[in-house]
Amino acid sequence: MTSESQEPGASRRPVEDEVDVVAEETQQSAKGGKKDKKGSFWKELPVLVVVALVLALIIKTFVVQAFYIPSESMENTLLKNDRVLVNKLVYHTRDIERGDVVVFSGVDSWDGEFQMEEPSNPVEGFFRWVGTAFGIVPGEKDYIKRVIGVGGDHVKCCDSKGRITINGTPIDEESYLYPGNVPSDRFFDVTVPPGRLWVMGDHRSVSLDSRSHTGDPGGGSIPESQVIGRAFVIVWPFDRARVLEIPDTFAQSSLQALGGAVPLVAGFGLAVPLVVVRRRRRMRTR
Given pLDDT bands bounded at 50, 70 and 90, which one contains residue 141? confident
42-57 residue pLDDT tens: 767 676 766 666 665 5
Choice among 105, 145, 207, 210 that is catalytic: 145
* 176 contacts: CB under 8 Å, gap ≥ 6: 77, 146, 202, 247, 249
Instruction: Establish whether 31 is a catalytic residue.
Output: no
The model's pTM: 0.65
Residue 96 to residue 197: CA distance in whole angstroms:
9
Asked whether 165 and 156 are in contact (CB, 8 A), the reply is yes
Asked whether 228 and 65 are in contact (CB, 8 A), the reply is yes
| Average pLDDT of the residues in 13-42 | 55
CB atoms within 10 A of CB 124: 12
Instruction: Establish whether 80 is a catalytic residue.
Output: no
Residue 198 to residue 210: CA distance in whole angstroms:
6
Given pLDDT bands bounded at 50, 70 and 90, which one contains residue 251? confident
Q: Which of 121-125, 186-190, 256-260, 280-284 has the highest mean pLDDT?
A: 186-190
Quote the mean pLDDT of the chain. 75
**Mind listing the domains of the chain with CATH numbers?**
63-248 (2.10.109.10)
160-179 residue pLDDT tens: 999 999 999 999 999 999 99
Choice among 60, 71, 73, 109 that is catalytic: 73
